Copies of this chain bind each other. A is one copy, B any other.
Amino acid sequence: MTIDPVKLDKLAQVAIKVGLQLAEGQDLVMTAPMTAAPLVRRITEHAYKAGAGLVTTIYSDEEATLARYKHANSASFDKAAGWLYSGMADAFKNNAARLAISGDNPMMLAGQDPEKVTRAMRANSAAYKPALQLITGFDINWNIVSYPTTAWAKLVFPNDSEEEAVSKLADAIFKASRVDQDDPIAAWAEHNANLKKRWTWLNGKSFASLHYTGPGTDLTVGLADGHRWKGGASEAKNGITCNPNIPTEEVFTTPHKLRVDGYVAGTKPLSHNGALIEEMQARFEGGKLVEFKAGKNGDLFNKVLDTDEGGRRLGEVALVPHSSPISASGILFFNTLYDENASCHIAQGQCYSDCFVGGKDLTQEQISAQGGNTSNIHIDWMIGSDKIDINGVHADGTTEPVMRGGEWAN
């Protein structure tokens, strides 16, 4: 058995009971690659056991996606399933919970025409936006969890047999998701309490900005007016406390879209739609990423940044200690859900409205006025390492240490 069935079942339980805290009678909309069907079935069972109304899974299929790139007319690549995403948005408006299973082959689109990839992604992002805003705005409880598909495992462990690779990736997922522990639900309660201690401290400080220094980095990230730090469990507008990311190690908030200045170096490769962007270097002026270079695939990333007006501004700033378990594993997962949790990071694009004090009641206009960025993209990239120091800067210019050598300073 390459994937331990007992731990897989525990992962499904964690997704329903910790990730979603699915409520009695609540519907669930799930998305997954077809190759993740074994986890979908475990989750479906635990959802119904928890009293779910109706569980609906929308499967994607890598082979169908590749058939499109191979055979479709050019005009196809400006299309998206808007009808499906509008339907999902309707489901969320009716309080359906949302669970995404990640596990797609990160290199699925490697070798495809980058122009078609970019157009397809742009069309998809625009069509998905109404549904995504209900998710990122925490109108409902939501969760992302991973399944060790063969294609993904072979990318992470290229020198192992398929069976070995899947087994290793499964173990890494189970460990990061805390389902290797006797009582995963208790372990998550403890972890959430630790994260809460960190964001409570940061919220109490109410820093005006963070100042990063390290190799290739001297960056000031202004924080949005009325920003709020979050991490771990999060209360959605429907009153349910969910853990949107399984795993998660970060505390994060909203930067000010006009107040980011200086230069910063990426510390890990970024896997984006099948391409690996490496040795990233960026310069910000007045919040905007005005200059971007990379050792590999810099042109591609520059195009992604130009998706829309907000693509070159930040929507998230997140702190993760260098000693966090995912970082300690030393594995490059080629999957943002994992790799962002191995390192301090920033994200280009859309902000989380919930990272504002009273964010649930703010209009889009108010969020924008307080510095919250809007975009069809949200792409995290890693800037943390054991060589990064971060100071919190108060409105009066005084500073105090937040992180030293990639670890919490206190």
Q: Residues of A with Cβ closer than 8 Å to B?
A: 24-25, 27, 29, 34, 37, 40-41, 44-45, 48-49, 51-59, 61, 63-64, 67-68, 70-73, 75-76, 79-81, 83-84, 86-88, 90-91, 94, 96
Contacts and interface: CB of A to CB of B under 8 A. Distances in A.
A44 B65 CA distance: 9
B86 A67 contact: no
A67 to B, nearest CB: 5
A400 B75 CA distance: 55
Contact of A57 (B49, B61, B76): B61
A395 to B, nearest CB: 46
Given A54-B68, A55-B68, 14 more contacts: A24-B73, A41-B61, A41-B63, A44-B64, A48-B70, A51-B72, A52-B72, A54-B80, A57-B59, A81-B91, A83-B91, A83-B94, A83-B96, A84-B87
A51 B64 contact: no
Contact of A59 (B48, B59, B68, B79): B59
Instruction: Tell me which of A24, A49, A80 has the highest count of chain B C-beta atoms within 10 A of its own C-beta.
Output: A49
Nearest to A80: B54
Given A48-B72, A51-B73, A76-B52, A64 B87 contact: no
Nearest to A38: B63
B86 A68 contact: no
A36 to B, nearest CB: 12
A140 B370 CA distance: 48
A55 B48 contact: no
Nearest to A94: B83
A64 B40 contact: yes
Contacts of A96: 83
A281 to B, nearest CB: 37
A309 B31 CA distance: 37
Nearest to A53: B79
Nearest to A51: B73
A40 B53 CA distance: 29
B48 A75 contact: no
Closest 4 CB pairs of A and B: A87-B87, A48-B71, A83-B91, A54-B79
A88 B86 CA distance: 10
Nearest to A75: B25
A319 to B, nearest CB: 37
Contact of A34 (B34, B44, B80): B34
A54 B34 contact: no
Nearest to A85: B87
A35 to B, nearest CB: 11
A310 to B, nearest CB: 26
A37 B34 contact: yes
A48 B76 contact: yes
A406 B70 CA distance: 49
16 contacts: A27-B79, A29-B83, A34-B34, A34-B37, A44-B67, A48-B68, A48-B71, A48-B73, A54-B68, A54-B81, A55-B68, A83-B91, A83-B94, A84-B87, A86-B90, A87-B90
Contacts of A40: 61, 64
A46 to B, nearest CB: 8
Instruction: Tell me which of A24, A58, A88 has the highest count of chain B C-beta atoms within 10 A of its own C-beta.
Output: A58
A80 B53 CA distance: 9
A382 B91 CA distance: 39
Given A48-B67, A64-B44, A67-B45, A53 B25 contact: no
